[in-house]
Amino acid sequence: MIRARVIGTGHYLPERVLTNFDLEKMMDTSDEWIRQRTGIEQRHVAAPDQATSDLAVLAAQRALKDAGLAPFDIDLIICCTTTPDHLFPATACLIQHRIEARNAAAFDLNAACSGFVYGLATATAFIESGRFRRVLLIGAEVATNRLNWKNRDTAVLFGDGAGAVVLQGEEGERGVLSTYLAADGADAHLLMLPAGGSRIVPTKENIGTEVHDFQMRGQELFKRAVLAFGSAIQKALEQNGISASDVDLFIPHQANVRIIQAAADRAGLSGDKVFLNLDKVGNTTAASIPIALDQALQAGRVVPGKLILLAAFGAGLTWGSAVIRW
Ligand code: UT7
């Protein structure tokens, strides 16, 4: 059977770092509150002239180099993002041109914080069907320039960054073993950016009003997130006929350390099997898992043969999981 195997990874984080202490000077918050309630200590912030594709290109080039492939080897580029450069064309097309991946089809995928898991499922399906052999899958976000820096409810949570993986179709036991995706649009209102699309177009009257801000019902989302992570992990274990003790490393979407710990505890995943990086990067939405995966590889925590579990939850609502035999 043809499996989708990750043959290269890369990530890029913008140079500028904004600490919780910096935020204390900008709004009514404290390092103590942010660390205790979220686990975040700092986040990276894109430069004013850096858009999502700029971060994505750097991550993609690193992943291609790691894979030992040239850009023209890539058949498909999927860019998972909620903060595309433009409403259209797709950011994936801009990346395709910048890295000169002339043979690649390209499209964006928006499943918010679950974007990378949705993208992985999509890429895997294309590869397993034989339609494409090599897919460049990117999660990239520049969220900080959409934040209202007076709104402490959301401004303290998000950071910018990009992560990329190159997947290749190969015979064998290594690669993506399973994916699981779910959604519940009934609770779309719990996390959204209302304006900018066709429902609320930007007008002189609404610019500067709350319809252009991230709107989030944090507590309700928190509860949904713990349940969704729990079900996504359970499905992943069932799909593979394994138990939590078989998992070598759990790389979750990094939204809140309390959500991750609650989900891991409920699933019976011990703390030493959970990879965390949100203290240094915050919530980077669709970029969070590929950044964490690349850092986990660099830290020597992902090595051939290991069983890696990914799980994510985000706006939509969307959630899902994947199991990879590295
Ligand atoms: O990426 C996937 C989607 N996102 C999520 O899954 C996020 C899920 N939600 C969360 O992570 C948490 O709900 C938050 C981190 C957003 C908030 O944490 P919380 O423990 O749920 O806090 P809360 O909203 O219940 O607020 C507790 C208190 C409130 O004050 P009072 O009413 O108790 O006096 C807030 O006004 O903390 C206050 N507060 C803050 N204080 C300092 C809220 N935000 C801040 C802040 N700094 N940044």
SS3 48: coil
Residues 6+ apart with CB under 8 A from 150: 27
Q: Which of 79, 253, 256, 277 is catalytic?
A: 253
pLDDT score for 229: 97
Query: Among this protein's residues, is 212 annotated catalytic?
Result: no
Question: Residue 223, Cβ neighbours under 10 Å: how many?
Answer: 11
**Which protein residue has the closest C-alpha to ligand 1 atom 44?**
153
Q: For every one of its 326 residues, what pLDDT tens digit does the chain have, with 9 covering 90 and above?
A: 999 999 999 999 999 999 999 999 999 999 999 999 999 999 999 999 999 999 999 999 999 999 999 999 999 999 999 999 999 999 999 999 999 999 999 999 999 999 999 999 999 999 999 999 999 999 999 999 999 998 999 999 999 999 999 999 999 999 999 999 999 999 999 999 999 999 999 999 999 999 999 999 999 999 999 999 999 999 999 999 999 999 999 999 999 999 999 999 999 999 999 999 999 999 999 999 999 999 999 999 999 999 999 999 999 999 999 999 99
pLDDT value of position 251: 98
Most ligand 1 atoms within 8 A of CB, residue of 37, 149, 152, 256 to mutate: 37
For the chain, the helix, strand and coil percentages under 3-state DSSP, each to the nearest 5: 40, 25, 35
Taking the centre of ligand 1 as the mean of its atom positions, its distance from the CA of residue 247, in whole angstroms, is 31
pLDDT of residue 257: 98
Instruction: Indicate which atom in ligand 1 lies nearest the CA of residue 156.
Output: 48
Report, at the CATH architecture level, how domain 177-325 is classified: 3-Layer(aba) Sandwich (3.40)
97 is catalytic: no
**How far does residue 147's CA lie from ligand 1's centre (Å)?**
16
- Name the segment(s) of the chain with CATH classification 3.40.47.10: 2-172, 177-325
Which is the catalytic residue, given 79, 80, 93, 113? 113
pLDDT of residue 268: 96
Question: What contacts 173, CB < 8 A, 6 or more positions away?
Answer: 3, 325
Residue 22's pLDDT is what? 97
Integer angstrom CA distances of residue 129 from 3, 7, 134, 141: 10, 19, 12, 29
Q: Does the annotation count 86 as an active-site position? A: no
State in words which class domain 2-172 has: alpha beta
**Residue nearest (by alpha carbon) to ligand 1 atom 11:** 256
**Sheet containing 307-314: which strands, arranged edge to edge?**
175-183, 318-325, 307-314, 249-252
> Who lines ligand 1 at CB under 6 A?
29, 33-34, 37-38, 113, 152-153, 156, 191, 218-219, 221-222, 225, 255-256, 259, 283, 313-314
- pLDDT on residue 246: 97
pLDDT at 241: 98
**How many CB atoms within 10 Å of residue 246?**
12
Residue with the nearest Cα to atom 38 of ligand 1?
Answer: 153
